[in-house]
Chains A and B, each alone.
Chain A
């Protein structure tokens, strides 16, 4: 309930910020995004970033044998930093995937996850249009920095379904609304 309300109010706040450029709206939305972020971080276990299952350890051990030098193999496969880096880039890909938001992750549905479209597919053109239009305005820099921050946090935390990448949703809504507003004008 709180998560849903925060998400709706943040979406409205960010949309109005893009349209009217009122600073307090950005502050209000940022505060709500922090609440949403806290919900996600609460369930986050830092060990999931570098921890490996027995199966993964076996896989890494096999990989180690392929390298000409054990030291290089260790740095590229076994170091916790390397494992965290690969996981973060993998998660970033999923957070940046349009199909996750608009097409229920089709055609790359995840195993053992009930996928559903977060937004109707016809929201995609207004979203892309809104992204383009907002980037044209230099005054929207803070909005985009906030957007990038939300993407990075989501990729780092990687919240599970059914909530999913909820921190990004207000940006999708506000950019789509901004685009529609521009078109109507």
Chain B
């Protein structure tokens, strides 16, 4: 009964936190989200991705070769809810809710204390790290859920060995969800086999280990077919060994976790790090008890997963890349959970709950400020809100041809295609047959696109002003002087909530331009 009540409280809280204004916060529709969702739509309607490749194992996108699980699962949400931002983010949000419930059960198993387990579940849900990626329509949150489930089943397996097999299958399966898990999961599985070798190689447990590892290998067959292709390691250029130790340590630094967070403005929430700042106390307390009981199964599992998880992220030159280090959230939440539980034991239940409620209310207020006020207000540019608005305009206007500058602006084709309801068959047509045939060979990416009444490429001022079209760019793409010189008429402006102009659309006037030219211009031939 109490268990049901606890889970219900968590579910109601999570449903609100993860689904409220899901299509509006984060603002816009980031390119990684639109790539996943447009390819999901394309798979749903044609059985092929944007390049016309039938059911790929890795999705090429713009040369990033992402794991396929999120795309295939999103086909279901798009089938149910249509081509909406809500549908694109639904699987992620569900994974976030399930992760929170899982954190509750994990803590309940560890502490046997329902109150602290619910509190740790709530803290997990309120962590901007989990919350942000769970409200984002790409693979990170889903991969985290599978990874966490793998850890949980392994922990269960240290008492009931049949769970060991399930754990290895889950670790293996998680490699199809995100690029980071492709490295973290196998490394962790190997390290766990080494650490728990005595237990796993016992006569009565050996069959489960064999079942688990052989099942994990079977799951890897699609990957094994691609392991020799360039598509399997597309992000090799991100690797940087210089400063590795400092970057690796920084993933455990209180500054990064509780005070500053990810420096990338798209991957972070204003004025909040990846955890509420006051959790720094349970963080230290949790690590202390984790080391104190370092020979326990739980501590071994936490320390092993914490040591392995930030490795791929620290090998890149980003200072604190939360999307790449997402698996680290699992051991850190467990550490914080242990800390919260110990603090509750010291404070006695009544004082503990009172103190928690007080801090919880302050945290909720600060979370609301950062997540639902400042994030939509200040970060809409980084989340591509301008392209969502532009796509809505294009969807209404089939008369004009739109030329969107991609020379210096972020890639926008998938957002335009998804929001403007471009038929995937129309989108696939101009794609090169060469790409389809050499899909996994990392064929060079071409950022120019042309579909329906939209063209995306670098502006060519020598020719584009002599065609009847609307040129779209920001204030640097098209300056006021250029607009005056080329007789461009401003059609629309797209602004952020603070009134900053993000994109402007200018209608060309080839006739006026040609009339103003005193000499003969080849581009003016045929201009009426």
Contacts and interface: CB of A to CB of B under 8 A. Distances in A.
A93 B288 contact: no
B369 interface: yes
A20 B170 CA distance: 51
B377 interface: yes
B254 A97 contact: yes
Given A96-B280, A124-B249, A132-B291, A107 B254 contact: no
B243 A107 contact: yes
Contact of B254 (A62, A96, A102, A108): A96
Contact of A108 (B245, B319, B374): B319
A100 B377 CA distance: 32
Interface in A104-141: 106-108, 121, 124, 132, 135-136
A65 B369 CA distance: 13
A66 B500 CA distance: 13
B373 interface: yes
A118 B263 CA distance: 24
A96 B255 contact: yes
Nearest to B270: A63
Interface residue range, chain A:
20 to 34
Contacts of A21: none
B168 interface: no
A92 B280 CA distance: 11
B258 interface: yes
A99 B249 contact: yes
A9 B210 CA distance: 60
Interface in B264-303: 271, 273, 277, 280, 288, 291-292
Nearest to A97: B255
Given A93-B254, A98-B253, A132-B288, A106 B377 contact: no
A136 B254 contact: no
A84 interface: no
B497 interface: yes
Contacts of A135: 288
Contacts of A97: 253-256
Nearest to A100: B255
Nearest to A73: B373
B253 A63 contact: no
Contacts of B365: 76
B344 to A, nearest CB: 19
B243 A106 contact: yes
A152 B288 CA distance: 21
A97 B320 CA distance: 13
Contacts of A90: 259-260
Interface in A66-111: 66-68, 76, 86, 89-90, 92-94, 96-100, 102-103, 106-108
Nearest to A68: B373
A76 B273 CA distance: 17
B369 A76 contact: yes
A89 B259 contact: yes
B250 interface: yes
Contact of B255 (A66, A76, A86, A93): A93
B246 interface: yes
A112 to B, nearest CB: 17
A66 B253 contact: no
A148 to B, nearest CB: 10
A67 B320 contact: no
A84 to B, nearest CB: 14
Given A65-B497, A99-B250, A135-B288, 13 more contacts: A66-B374, A66-B497, A76-B365, A86-B271, A93-B254, A93-B258, A93-B277, A96-B253, A97-B253, A107-B247, A107-B320, A108-B260, A124-B249
7 contacts: A63-B374, A63-B378, A66-B373, A93-B258, A96-B254, A99-B255, A100-B255
Interface of B: 243, 245-247, 249-250, 252-256, 258-260, 263, 271, 273, 277, 280, 288, 291-292, 319-320, 365, 369, 373-374, 376-378, 497-498
**5 nearest A-B residue pairs (beta carbon):** A93-B259, A97-B255, A107-B319, A66-B377, A103-B246
Interface of A: 62-63, 65-68, 76, 86, 89-90, 92-94, 96-100, 102-103, 106-108, 121, 124, 132, 135-136
